Amino acid sequence: MFINPYTLWNIFIYMRTVHGIYITYSFFAWLFASMSGTFLYTMSFFGPRPDTPQLEDKKDKEYKKQIKLHGID
């Protein structure tokens, strides 16, 4: 089986191009993913905070329940 050297050269150019596109896409996907994660982390410090109770704020009856041991108490 004899393959024309020009055909081999074209196959090489095609493979190099496809590989370069894949590597470039992978790089930009990684770059934008890491930048978006950092950006979202930074932006989480700005803006309204939800009103979440802290440990000292939880002084309801629900947190002061006593444990009943089968009616012994």
Per-residue pLDDT tens digits of the chain, which is 73 residues long: 667 889 988 999 999 999 999 999 999 999 998 888 888 888 888 877 767 666 665 555 555 555 566 656 4
57 lies in a domain? Answer: no
Q: What is the DSSP letter of 73?
A: -
- Domain that includes residue 25, residue range: 1-46
Within a domain: 11: yes
Q: How many domains, in total, are found in the chain?
A: 1
User: What predicted TM-score, i.e. pTM, was given to this entire model?
Assistant: 0.50
In a domain, 37, yes or no: yes
Distance CA 15, CA 9 (A): 10
Does residue 58 belong to any structural domain of this protein? no
Instruction: Answer yes or no: are the C-beta atoms of 73 and 66 closer than 8 Å.
Output: yes
Q: Is residue 8 part of a domain?
A: yes
